A = this chain, B = another copy of it.
Amino acid sequence: MVRPPQDLLQGTLDLLILKTLSWGPAHGYAIARWIQQLTGQVLDVGEGSLYPALHRLEERGWVKSEWQLSPNNRRAKFYQLTTRGRQQLRAETASWTEFVDAVGKVLRTTTQPA
């Protein structure tokens, strides 16, 4: 049993969603598709992860939702970033960078530390 990037999604989903919404309001389905498309199918956000995440973000006041009609004339719940959500995005982006750097340091080390 391999360990696909899928398993690494934990803790990053919120960041991904927040970032996606920073381009403008969107509904859940579109968010999932954009992420999938942008990453060339590498990241696949399942709906069973997406909707709980969206509700979580709303509960924390980082996004707010509103029922609207999508371009193809169907009802859809559009999510958009709040001011606090924008702050959160900045914070999580910084954390992410710091974390990736830290892991990178370990991965790039070739010699045993003192």
- A interface residues (Cβ-Cβ under 8 A, vs B): 2-5, 7-12, 14-16, 19-20, 23-24, 34-35, 37-40, 42-43, 91-93, 95-96, 98-103, 105-107, 109-113
Contact = CB atoms under 8 A, between A and B. Distances in A.
A11 to B, nearest CB: 4
Contacts of A110: 23
Assembly stoichiometry (copies): 2
A5 B106 contact: no
A102 B24 contact: no
A107 to B, nearest CB: 6
B42 A107 contact: no
Contact of A106 (B16, B24, B95): B16
A39 B107 CA distance: 11
Contact of A99 (B5, B35, B111): B5
A98 to B, nearest CB: 6
